[in-house]
Amino acid sequence: MYKVPVSLPFALRRKYPRASVSLAWQWLFPSSGICLDEDGQSVRHHVHVSTIQRAVKQAVRVTGIEKPVGCHTFRHTFATELLRRGSDIRTVQTLLGHADVRTTQIYTHVLGQGFAGVQSPLG
């Protein structure tokens, strides 16, 4: 169990009183500071998205990468790598939260392959 709970919506706090200190509800990127929730309880929030964006931007600058890279680049890399390794297009669609499979199929073009890695016998 963690000492500093995370902030949860009221209904969840009432239904699962110990959830705020369980590992399942902890933030992947927790903030360094602690604040008070609406009940006056000390809680921890997640680090602000701009902090992650700044860290990625600085890391790109330090490594000398000259191409445009940002946090969203990781999403594209993840999807492309899943497809490259043979994952089903519908699985990738679900993981990325795409409503239309045509959006996910864009990643197959990045790979230079046809749908699901199958190349046309016609050339």
The 10s digit of each residue's pLDDT in 53-96 is: 999 999 999 999 999 999 999 999 999 999 888 899 999 999 99
Together in a domain, 54 and 109 = yes
* Counted domains in the chain: 2
112 pLDDT exceeds 60? yes
Together in a domain, 36 and 89 = no
Together in a domain, 104 and 69 = yes
- Whole-number Å distance between alpha carbons of 108 and 16: 43
Whether 90 is in a domain gets the answer yes
39 pLDDT exceeds 90? no
Residues in the chain, how many?
A: 123
* Higher pLDDT, residue 11 or 115: 11
Print the domain residue range for 93.
50-113
Together in a domain, 103 and 64 = yes
Whether 16 is in a domain gets the answer yes
Together in a domain, 54 and 104 = yes
Amino acid 123: pLDDT: 57
